Amino acid sequence: MSPPIRSRTAQAIAYVVLAALLAPSTASAQTAYPAKPIRLVLGFPPGTNVDVLARPIAQHMTESFGQPVIVDNRAGATGLIANEFVAKAPADGYTLLVAPGSSLTSTPHLKLKMPYDSLRDFAPIIQINAFPNVVIVNPVVPAKTVRDLVAIARARPGVLTFGSSGVGSAFHLSGELFKTLAKVDMLHVPYKGGNLALNDLVGGRIDVMFYTLAVANPQINAGKVRAIAVTSLARDPTQPKLPTVDESGLKGYEIVGWHGFLAPAGTARDVVNRVNATVAKILGTREMRDLWTSQGMQAVTNTPEQFARRLREDYEKYGRVVKAVGIAPE
């Protein structure tokens, strides 16, 4: 004998309610992020440039997400240790990387064995800043423009010297790209640090440098070195009268440093979008704009696709330069 209709109806409703409670919901899973602390991994020690930038962002992320966002400094091997750690972490959005572009775009071309693939093993989230280098010369060098410098280098092949913080550094590759596009020969002099090279430029022991504008600005303003161009495609607001290398005749020349947020490859797109939107909002605050300006940087807020394109373009650019120069991977 079958149960009464009323009993069967109540039973069916109970089953539906129970199923709804027990069934996993994609939408609820998405809105639940983050449900636990997030780790921001940095490849450099406390007090370094990337650390100074990441910590206030982490604080604001904590306030926005309602979950602790913890900075984890895993220093060593110019960022490779931290990058590898994040590349191999679970793709759940709770382990994120904040890294300088050089560790993802130029360093991989200088190593025989890389523990990660910059283009395959990460999900780019957002680029957070941009900062150009500047072409500076010792005042004794009679070059006031890029054209002057090119003319002098062509007239005296291999005589002009340019210093950098080491073989394969962004400053070294900036000079090599300049040489390639200008079709000139200048002698590279590697140092164990950019400031050592800058000191020798001021002292007249080398002729040219391609260096971070923010760091070089005090020497420029004091007249100890002469700036002739910036390496970005747009003029820098701190030196608005200074032309770009591109507009000075070397079309297509662009070297811009940056930092960015990345997650392990395979991280859900809704998580990537959530972090992107949150960080972009933080970067739009007056506090962050002032911090970036004090560091000689410009805030950048772009989409994951735009950041991925920047990562790929820089990776391929540096690869071409390293190959053209013939730098042997270690």
Domain boundaries, the chain: 29-128+258-325, 132-230
Highest mean pLDDT range out of 4-13, 64-73, 237-246? Answer: 64-73
**Per the omega criterion (within 30 degrees of 0), is the bond before 240 cis?**
no
> Hey, CA dihedral for 254, 255, 260, 266, is it positive or negative?
positive
pLDDT band per the 50, 70, 90 thresholds, residue 230: very high
Whether residue 191 is predicted with pLDDT greater than 50 in this model: the reply is yes
Whether residue 201 is predicted with pLDDT greater than 90 in this model: the reply is yes
29-128+258-325, what's its fold? Answer: D-Maltodextrin-Binding Protein; domain 2 (3.40.190)
pLDDT band per the 50, 70, 90 thresholds, residue 251: very high
The rounded mean pLDDT for the chain is 90
Whether residue 145 is predicted with pLDDT greater than 70 in this model: the reply is yes
- pTM for the model: 0.83
Predicted pLDDT at 155 = 97
Q: How many CB atoms lie within 10 A of CB 23?
A: 7
The CA distances from residue 31 to 61, 216, 274, in Å, are: 16, 46, 10
Pick the CATH number of 132-230 from 3.40.190.10, 3.50.50.60, 3.30.460.80, 3.30.390.50: 3.40.190.10
Q: Give yes or no on whether 29-128+258-325 and 132-230 have one common fold.
A: yes
